[in-house]
Copies of this chain bind each other. A is one copy, B any other.
Amino acid sequence: MSIKKLAAHLGLSKSTVSRALNGYTDVNEQTREKVLKAAQDIGYKANPTAKRLASGKSRNIGIILPAHSRMFVSSAFSKVLAAAAEFLAKHDYQLIVTTIFDWQDEQQVYFDFITSGLVDGVFIVRTRHLDPRISMLKKHQFPYVCFGFDTDFKNDCFVDVDNAQAFYDLTQRQIKHGHSRIAFLDAPNELTVSQARKQGYLQAMHEAHISIDPHWLLNGELNEHDAMKMTQKIMLLIHRPTCILCADDTMALGAIAACETLGYQVGIDIAVAGYGDYEHSRYTNPSITTVQYDIDAVGEGMSKLMLNKVEGKQFEVKNWHEATIVIRQSDDYFITNET
């Protein structure tokens, strides 16, 4: 009864009040001022649910995170999300995070989400090759923006870090420092980032004419535990690596722990590097050589693309963000050894 009450209070009709409040031009300026003032005084606030039902717009952007994956807790990713949310907030949009569990059907959850009217668009993370979520979104013509490129993407729907380049650089760095037995603990194969990272690694190895022992190329979840298991495996090989590249810094932490358990001194007996420049990486012992990128720019980019879609804005956005290596102690020895 709220706008009605306000209208009654002012001796105006609901429609006039609505128009005044929503900045339409066909309203007498004095009327508008009166309405605005009264709304202020009376503490009137439009009911978003009603607005949503009437207008079909929610001014919410959603994201669905797997509750039990580390995505929900990865500090780097949370920062991306915070940056995205901040940009949205400045344009009077809200980011809504919701969760999905292992026991739920992904397609169903996404479908329910986009048909709920709760959000005007969704962010997709952990992009997979030929991602079924994206097929569905496309089919229903629902606005989406991905963090993570796939081969058939247009520039208006994704931002990504140049993972291939990052791991090309990282691998090349290790090769330069004398390594040839370089292992790579990659993320799950289904993720597009995994493909990109592996490709960068392979290319650098190939260009240096170093053959790769397939035992050194493993996939696992982005967490310490999986990395530990994988590291134990490869470090017990007779022909074991002298360097381990990890798909992110949590894996690096696990790899380092595994190496130390086995009696290796990381940074001296073996080099380890990660990706993402997670918060812990500069504080651990040894601190972790990693790859960083402009987190805020990525987050903002996602939101800009989203607003381009849902509001017809024309923000320019950079799809690809370069990554740069941050040198720390976990592969320190090989630097010092150099010259």
Contact = CB atoms under 8 A, between A and B. Distances in A.
Interface in A255-305: 256-257, 260, 279-280, 282-286
Oligomer: number of copies: 2
Contact of A224 (B118, B250, B279): B279
Contacts of A256: 283, 285
A77 to B, nearest CB: 9
A283 B224 contact: yes
A101 B79 contact: no
A78 B117 CA distance: 26
A284 B117 contact: no
A98 interface: yes
Interface in A100-143: 101, 104, 112, 115-118
Interface in A156-174: none
A112 B49 CA distance: 12
Interface in A187-241: 223-224, 228
Contacts of A279: 70, 73, 223-224, 250
B67 A85 contact: yes
Interface in A30-61: 45, 47-50, 52-53, 58
Contact of A82 (B67, B79, B96, B223): B67
A86 B103 CA distance: 10
A242 interface: no
Contact of A48 (B73, B116, B285): B116
Contacts of A117: 47-49
B72 A82 contact: yes
A75 interface: yes
11 contacts: A45-B112, A72-B81, A73-B74, A95-B99, A96-B96, A224-B280, A224-B283, A228-B283, A257-B282, A280-B280, A285-B285
